[in-house]
Amino acid sequence: MKIEKVGVVGCGLMGSGIVEVCARAGYSVTVSEVNQQLLDKGLAAITNSITRAAERGKITDEDKKATLGRIKGTTNLEDFKNCNLVIEAVLEDMARKKDIFRLLDKVCPKTSILATNTSCLAIIEMAMSTQRPDKVLGIHFFNPAPVMKLVEIVKPIAVSQETVGDAKTFAESLGKKVIFAPDSPGFVVNRLLVPFIIDAIRIYEAGTATAEDIDQGMVLGCNHPMGPLALADLVGLDTLVMVGNAMYEEFKEPRFAPTPLLKKMVAAGRLGRKTGRGFYQYS
């Protein structure tokens, strides 16, 4: 199937990045939010990101204008009725995601692919809330989506090989490298990354080393581009808790379980970069 028009549900951190990536690749993109205030905030973030890319010479002023011209915002999911592909990118709440997929199933053409950007939830549950489970899968981008080169294509057991092939072609058209993963919490990357970050938090919580020393140890000792605690702040500590809990519920392995400190930081609203404070403070 030829994909020309893309819908994105959610214009937060991940949704806005996905919109930018798709629009810069030449797709017409419609993005939704639950109210005008959140939509305006998300669209402003997209405009600022594309403007910075132009200022840094990564795209021309003509490309900037053309990219912004391909983006349309809405607060009504009915506006996805002409989309060939819709990517859901809202918070990790299964009930909410199922509601979105039910509505998209009614609104979108029967040939359209419905995808989720979830990091940890069971995609088959979303698929079975529709009448087209063969056309539902995961297209998992990484933060920040305009920069990170990887996309995980996640295959629930009901998806067709044709849908998987169309999703792969689409992701590669964005300039991304594709890997495939089963519909299992954490997929490939987070299955490895989350316990690594949680172990770093355990070391910090035990007083073994400072946050700075832990991160410097991994950056300078293992040539990682970013230390695990700085990365936790970038990902979002609330997201880390959600993914860790989902993986622990599925596998019952203690290494996946969020630590007491991590849960307390989330309860206190210290979620990392997006709130200005996590393991580090941000201006």
Residue 37's Cβ-count burial label (10 Å; 0-12, 13-18, 19+) is exposed
How many residues make up the chain in this entry? 283
Q: Is 224 a catalytic residue?
A: no
- Whether 190 is a known active-site residue: answer yes
Active-site option among 190, 212, 223, 253: 190
Given 112, 117, 119, 129, the catalytic residue? 119
Residue from 112, 152, 160, 250 carrying the catalytic annotation = 152
Phi–psi pair at 249, nearest 5 degrees: -60, -35
Q: Is 129 a catalytic residue?
A: no
Q: Is 143 a catalytic residue?
A: no
Tokens 């819709």 belong to residue: 86
DSSP the chain: ----EEEEE--SHHHHHHHHHHHHTT-EEEEE-SSHHHHHHHHHHHHHHHHHHHHTTSS-HHHHHHHHHTEEEES-GGGGTT-SEEEE---S-HHHHHHHHHHHHHHS-TT-EEEE--SSS-HHHHHTTSS-GGGEEEEEE-SSTTT--EEEEEE-TT--HHHHHHHHHHHHHTT-EEEEEESSTTTTHHHHHHHHHHHHHHHHHTTSS-HHHHHHHHHHHH--SS-HHHHHHHH-HHHHHHHHHHHHHHH--GGGSPPHHHHHHHHTT--BGGGTBSSSB--
φ, ψ for residue 152 (rounded to 5)?
-95, 125
Are 136 and 127 contacting, i.e. CB atoms less than 8 angstroms apart? yes
Catalytic position from the list 55, 140, 184, 249: 140
Q: Which residues are catalytic?
A: 119, 140, 152, 190
